């Protein structure tokens, strides 16, 4: 670390100070939201250190909109998408990694196109497809376009390719079929990749907004993000205390998970990014 | 196992994923292209071929040009600033000082928040008179300002939000790259009499090039893909001053239900992103030493 420290072009004390200032600046908007959410409306923009703390804004937000339902919808969406992705991407990655077939290279290149042209860019046509399937305003309709993920296939294929063939052969001699080998050898050995991919997938779909906004139009299907935007836009006028509380509430599960598993999160994003 | 059986297994394994992928990426991409040369179906009137009419309309659509221009400014402002900040953050938290992990947390946390939550937080931050920004500005003796409500500042207000959200994400890639640079390289440079600044410019920065390219490309994609904050904070206003390309598509497609014109605009967006993809393959995949 000391060797790394010296490479920075700024003196150590100045660098420490600069880091503090920048971090404080970065925390400012969040601190403001926290302050507003945990104090009575009267203190929303009035920074009095003696202001009483309260959880009332949270209970008001919780009662003012069906957040419990939104939480359920988001959980179902996130779990469903992830389960689908895990299964489909595992099978496809296994196919690409271990069962060479004529044209595999071309098909894989086509798969990778999705990294650039994501389903949420082709809004109109995908809306048409979902409508034709009768899935408008359903949680399945939000998730379906994302279930086959080029990114997941790519990540798992890389991992599977790194697993020594000898293990594969050994399992086959033991009498495993192709799916048995996948289940006994490849999946257990790819665990870190699954964790990384899972975290990225959950964060993406917990936070996704535009596509669910288009697809849903009722309380029973709206995920949290869309529910929050509806709540903040119409129901509340400008009671910032309640809106701040609702905002924090929707981000809380992911935020808490992040604070608890910081290292895993950062590593997952890293693994996921370096592709 | 025979070769043919192997190939059969291969096809069967990829089939479910590939067919879904085709259904929601490749097929709609082709359909979008087709829709862009047809008219929008209205009521009982089916779409008919109109050639390049939609493209001609697009050329004459001031909101399209405004959105494209906005998006360009948005990208050109967001990308360099967030990448430079990411590098600065990484350099700052890469050394040990009291409170380092807290600083790292402060930089990275916006990445985990939903953009919609970020938008709400900043919406309040920007509120005229009442919001923290106006109060800070007032404290410094400057006039109050409707940051999101005025043409001159609205887009910049959104740019600041994007920078705040993205910098910490890019920081982690720089941090990882910095930690991979062997200390001996810098020690060698120091032995040669290179000062810290020379060492940074001549050793560290060149070694970070692949990371910089990677981050730049990602930032470029995000600049054209992320419009959640536009929907929540400004709805493209005032007077289209904050309309980005994807937001304009969203409006045309789902507010005016003009699917043919939305398809035409989508073709432009996909073309831009394909150019980025081409750039990526050209620069990134040939030069990174990640794999």
Domains identified in chain A and CATH numbers: 10-43+51-56 (no CATH), 62-271 (1.10.3720.10)
Query: How large is the average pLDDT for residues A98-104?
Result: 89
* Residue A5 forms contact with B (CB below 8 Å): yes
CB contact residues (below 8 A), chain B span 8-27, against chain A: 8-14, 16-27
Nearest CB to A147: which of B20, B168, B228? B20
Task: With a cut of 60, say whether residue A3 has pLDDT above it.
Answer: no
Q: What is the pLDDT of residue B1?
A: 58
> Residue A75: phi, psi to the nearest 5?
-60, -45
Contact between chains at A107 and B14 (C-beta distance less than 8 A): yes
Which residues neighbour A99 within 8 Å (Cβ) at sequence distance 6 or greater?
A: A178, B6, B7, B9, B10, B13
* Interface predicted TM-score of the whole assembly (ipTM), two decimals: 0.87
- Residue B42: strand pairing partners: B45
Residue B21's Cβ-count burial label (10 Å; 0-12, 13-18, 19+) is buried
Which residues neighbour B275 within 8 Å (Cβ) at sequence distance 6 or greater?
A: none
Query: How large is the average pLDDT for residues A183-199?
Result: 90
Nearest residue of B to residue A45, measured between CA atoms: B130
Task: With a cut of 60, say whether residue A188 has pLDDT above it.
Answer: yes
- Residue B49: strand pairing partners: B38
CB contact residues (below 8 A), chain B span 163-202, against chain A: 164, 168-169, 172-173, 176, 178-179, 181, 183, 186-187, 190, 196-197, 199-201
Nearest to B174 by CA among B79, B90, B84, B88: B90
CB–CB contacts below 8 A, A to B: 302
Mutate to test the interface with B, among A103, A148, A169, A263 (most CBs of B within 10 A): A148
Q: How far is B213 from chain A (nearest CA, A)?
A: 12
pLDDT digits (tens, 9 = 90+) for A142-151: 999 999 999 9
Query: How large is the average pLDDT for residues A122-126?
Result: 93
Its pTM stands at 0.89
Contact between chains at A8 and B253 (C-beta distance less than 8 A): no
Task: With a cut of 60, say whether residue B225 has pLDDT above it.
Answer: yes
Nearest residue of A to residue B167, measured between CA atoms: A26
Nearest residue of A to residue B99, measured between CA atoms: A20
Query: How large is the average pLDDT for residues B101-120?
Result: 89
pLDDT top residue among A272 and A101: A101
| Residue B95, token pair as written in the block | 């050394």
Just give the CATH number of B51-285. Answer: 1.10.3720.10
pLDDT top residue among B199 and B257: B257
How much of chain A exceeds pLDDT 90, in percent?
Answer: 41
Q: What is the pLDDT of residue A234?
A: 64
> Residue B205: phi, psi to the nearest 5?
-60, -50
Task: With a cut of 50, say whether residue B291 has pLDDT above it.
Answer: no
Q: What is the pLDDT of residue B181?
A: 84
> Please, what is the angle between helix A150-161 and helix A191-207, to 10°?
170
Which residues neighbour A123 within 8 Å (Cβ) at sequence distance 6 or greater?
A: A210, A211, A214, B249, B250, B253, B254, B262, B266
Residue ranges of chain B assigned to CATH 1.10.3720.10 = 51-285
pLDDT digits (tens, 9 = 90+) for B10-57: 999 999 999 999 999 999 999 999 999 998 888 788 888 888 989 999
Query: How large is the average pLDDT for residues B225-232?
Result: 91
Query: How large is the average pLDDT for residues A17-31?
Result: 89
Contact between chains at A124 and B131 (C-beta distance less than 8 A): no
Task: With a cut of 70, say whether residue B258 has pLDDT above it.
Answer: yes
């Amino acid at each position: 670390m000391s060797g790394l420290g010296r490479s920075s072009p700024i003196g150590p004390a100045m660098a420490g100070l600069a880091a503090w200032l920048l971090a404080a600046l970065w925390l400012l908007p969040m601190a403001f939201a926290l302050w507003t959410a945990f104090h009575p409306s009267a203190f929303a923009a009035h920074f009095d250190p003696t202001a009483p703390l309260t959880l009332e804004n949270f209970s008001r937000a919780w009662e003012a909109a069906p957040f419990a339902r939104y939480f359920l919808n988001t959980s179902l969406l996130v779990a469903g998408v992830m389960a689908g992705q895990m299964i489909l991407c595992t099978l496809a990655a296994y196919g690409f990694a271990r069962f060479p077939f004529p044209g595999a290279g071309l098909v894989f290149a086509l798969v990778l196109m999705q990294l650039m042209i994501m389903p949420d860019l082709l809004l109109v046509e995908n809306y048409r497809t979902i409508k034709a399937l009768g899935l408008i305003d359903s949680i399945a309709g939000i998730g379906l376009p994302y279930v086959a993920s080029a990114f997941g296939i790519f990540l798992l294929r890389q991992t599977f390719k790194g697993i020594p063939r000898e293990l594969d052969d050994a399992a086959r001699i033991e009498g495993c079929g192709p799916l048995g080998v996948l289940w006994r050898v490849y999946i257990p050995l790819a665990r870190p990749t699954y964790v990384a991919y899972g975290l990225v997938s959950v964060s993406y779909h917990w936070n996704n907004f535009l596509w669910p906004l288009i697809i849903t139009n009722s309380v029973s299907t709206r995920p949290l993000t869309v529910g929050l935007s509806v709540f903040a836009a119409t129901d509340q006028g400008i009671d910032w205390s309640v809106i701040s509380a609702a905002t924090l509430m929707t981000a809380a599960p992911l935020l808490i998970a992040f604070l608890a598993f910081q290292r895993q999160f950062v590593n997952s994003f890293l693994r996921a990014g370096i592709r | 196992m025979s070769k043919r059986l192997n190939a059969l297994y291969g096809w069967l394994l990829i089939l479910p994923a590939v067919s879904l992928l085709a259904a929601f990426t490749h097929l709609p991409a082709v359909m979008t292209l087709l829709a862009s040369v047809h008219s929008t179906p209205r009521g009982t009137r089916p779409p008919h071929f109109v050639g390049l009419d939609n493209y001609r309309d697009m050329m004459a659509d001031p909101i399209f040009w405004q959105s494209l221009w906005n998006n360009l400014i948005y990208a050109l402002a967001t990308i360099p600033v967030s990448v430079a900040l990411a590098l600065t953050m990484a350099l700052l938290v890469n050394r040990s000082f009291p409170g380092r992990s807290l600083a790292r947390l402060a930089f990275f946390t916006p990445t985990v928040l939903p953009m919609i939550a970020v938008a709400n937080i900043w919406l309040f931050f920007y509120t005229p008179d009442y919001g923290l920004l106006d109060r800070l500005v007032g404290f410094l003796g400057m006039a109050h300002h409707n940051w999101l409500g005025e043409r001159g500042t609205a887009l910049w207000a959104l740019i600041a939000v994007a920078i705040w959200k993205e910098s910490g994400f890019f920081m982690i890639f720089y941090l990882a790259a910095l930690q991979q640079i062997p200390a001996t390289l810098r020690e060698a440079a120091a032995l040669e009499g290179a000062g810290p600044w020379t060492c940074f410019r001549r050793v560290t920065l060149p070694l970070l090039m692949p990371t910089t390219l990677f981050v730049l490309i990602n930032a470029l994609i995000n600049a054209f893909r992320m419009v959640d904050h536009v929907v929540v904070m400004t709805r493209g206003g005032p007077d289209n001053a904050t309309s980005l390309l994807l937001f304009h598509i969203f409006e045309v497609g789902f507010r005016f239900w003009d699917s043919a014109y939305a398809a035409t605009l989508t073709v432009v967006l996909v073309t831009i992103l394909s150019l980025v993809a081409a750039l990526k393959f050209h620069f990134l995949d040939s030069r990174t030493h990640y794999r």
